[in-house]
Structure 1
Amino acid sequence: MPTYITLLNWTDQGIRASADTAERADAFGAALQRAGARLVAIYWTVGPHDLVAIVEAPDDETAAAALLRLGVVGNVRSTTMRAFGRDEIEGVVAKASA
């Protein structure tokens, strides 16, 4: 299943409710499951981003829809990148060499 790395920053609303962040992460994981995706891991970070999530979804459309639902809640803004594992990148390199 494709993997996505999502960099998250709290909005003003999200930081005001930071005491609930662990519960919101659980709700995010549950919402992803309902959408057919999976929260692999979530990390709270220090630096330019407040959280980093690793998500698996069957396709880009499912990932985008699930992350759009997250954004609608209003607690975070996200930047998402498609990530490739070793086997996947070997396939990409093989296609580029053909």
Structure 2
Amino acid sequence: MPTYITLLNWTEQGIRAYKDTMARADAFAAAMQRLDGRLVTMYWTVGPYDLVAVLEAPDDETAAAALLQLGEAGNVRSTTMRAFGRGEVEGVIARASA
């Protein structure tokens, strides 16, 4: 299943309700499951981003739908990157070399 790395920053609303962050992460994990995806892990970070999430989704559209639902709540803004594992990159390299 494709993997996505999502960098998140709390909005003003999100930081005011920081005590709810665990419940919000659980709700996002449940939303991912309902869309046949998975929240692999979530990290709370110090630095330019407040959180980093690793997601798996069957396709880009599913990942985008989950992230739209997350953003709709108004607690975070996200930047998402498609991540390729070693085996996937080997396939990409083989294709590029053909």
Q: TM-score, normalised by structure 2?
A: 0.99
1:70-94 alpha-carbon deviations (Å, 9 max, x no partner): 0000000000000000000000000
Counterpart for residue 94 of structure 1: 94
Among the aligned pairs, what percent are the same residue?
Answer: 78
RMSD: 0.4
1:50-85 alpha-carbon deviations (Å, 9 max, x no partner): 000000000000000010110000000000000000
Runs of 4+ more than 4 Å apart: none
SS at match of 1:46: coil
CA distance in 1: counterparts of 2:35 and 2:75, whole angstroms: 19
CA distance in 1: counterparts of 2:34 and 2:94, whole angstroms: 35
Counterpart for residue 85 of structure 1: 85
The answer to whether 1:15 aligns with 2:21 is no
Counterpart for residue 52 of structure 1: 52
SS at match of 1:74: coil
SS at match of 1:4: strand
Q: TM-score, normalised by structure 1?
A: 0.99
Q: CA deviation at 1:36?
A: 1.1
CA distance in 1: counterparts of 2:59 and 2:36, whole angstroms: 10
SS at match of 2:70: helix
CA distance in 2: counterparts of 1:20 and 1:71, whole angstroms: 16
Counterpart for residue 35 of structure 2: 35
Q: CA deviation at 1:35?
A: 1.1
Aligned residues: 98
Letter in 1 for 2:8: L
CA distance in 1: counterparts of 2:95 and 2:67, whole angstroms: 29
SS at match of 2:49: coil
SS at match of 1:61: helix
